[in-house]
């Protein structure tokens, strides 16, 4: 009979997310993951296979917690400009509220891991496409209804917003100044 896991893998992944956000993949040792999760090395390897497996699980959980709710929000019938303001202002609030200035796991994974880990690159492409598709659908509706008149395809505008989101996350990790970040949000909203 197989032994059942004696630890909560979700909690172990949550603790690992915080480590990876603070120090990146290379900056975290398996021993630090053991210490942060309270789970033995052998149990972690049995559950995830490797440090990379823990990282992949962390990236997937982070993606689901970030991208899925945002996708649902963008699909509602509220005015596009209001939704975009809500998303960007909420992001600024999150950045400013994160006093530890942790990096976004998606952004840090793109910089550190995407070029050398095909699974990470695939997860990032999937996440980006999911969000870009949601913004594209929202912006397409907004253009058809005359709410947004900026020239450009909905896909191009969605990419502009995605670049803004990632740029805010990077700048916010460097200097989480609300006024500076909100000035960027206001420029985006004025452009739309």
pLDDT digit string, tens, across residues 29-78: 999 999 999 999 999 999 999 999 999 999 999 999 999 999 999 999 99
CA dist 114 and 107 (Å) reads: 10
Q: How far apart are the first and last CA of the chain?
A: 61
Task: Give the CATH number, domain containing residue 77.
Answer: 1.10.357.10
The 3-state DSSP class for residue 102 equals coil
Q: What angle do CA 184, 187, 190 make, to 5 degrees?
A: 150
Give me the mean pLDDT over the 2-11 stretch: 68
- Structural domain boundaries enclosing 130: 61-191
The reply to whether 18 falls in a domain is: no
The reply to whether 19 falls in a domain is: no
The 3-state DSSP class for residue 98 equals coil
Averaged pLDDT of the chain? 90
pLDDT digit string, tens, across residues 136-161: 999 999 999 999 887 789 999 999 99
The reply to whether 126 falls in a domain is: yes
Please state the domain count of the chain: 1
Please give the torsion angle defined by the CA atoms of residues 40, 44, 47 and 52, in that order, rounded to the nearest 10 degrees: 180
pLDDT digit string, tens, across residues 99-129: 666 778 898 899 999 999 999 999 999 999 9
Determine contact, residues 88/164, Cβ cutoff 8 Å.
Answer: yes
pLDDT for 175? 87
What's the predicted TM-score (pTM) here?
Answer: 0.87
The reply to whether 2 falls in a domain is: no
The reply to whether 52 falls in a domain is: no
The reply to whether 9 falls in a domain is: no
The reply to whether 106 falls in a domain is: yes
The reply to whether 181 falls in a domain is: yes
pLDDT for 100? 66
């Amino acid at each position: 009979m197989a032994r059942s896991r004696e630890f909560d893998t979700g909690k172990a992944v949550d603790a690992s997310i915080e480590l990876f956000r603070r120090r990146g993949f290379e900056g975290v040792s398996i021993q630090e993951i053991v210490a942060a999760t309270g789970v033995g090395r052998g149990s972690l390897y049995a559950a995830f296979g490797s440090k990379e497996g823990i990282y992949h699980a962390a990236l997937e959980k982070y993606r689901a917690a970030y991208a899925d709710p945002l996708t649902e929000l963008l699909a509602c019938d509220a005015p596009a400009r209001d939704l975009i303001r809500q998303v960007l202002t909420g992001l600024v609030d999150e950045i400013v509220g994160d006093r530890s200035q942790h990096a976004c796991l998606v952004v840090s994974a793109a910089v550190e891991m995407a070029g050398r880990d095909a699974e990470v690159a695939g997860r990032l492409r999937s996440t980006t496409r999911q969000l870009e598709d949601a913004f594209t659908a929202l912006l397409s509706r907004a253009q058809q209804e005359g709410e947004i008149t900026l020239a450009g395809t909905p896909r191009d505008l969605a990419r502009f917003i995605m670049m803004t989101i990632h740029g805010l996350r990077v700048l916010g990790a460097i200097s989480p100044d609300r006024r500076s970040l909100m000035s960027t949000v206001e420029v985006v909203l004025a452009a739309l």
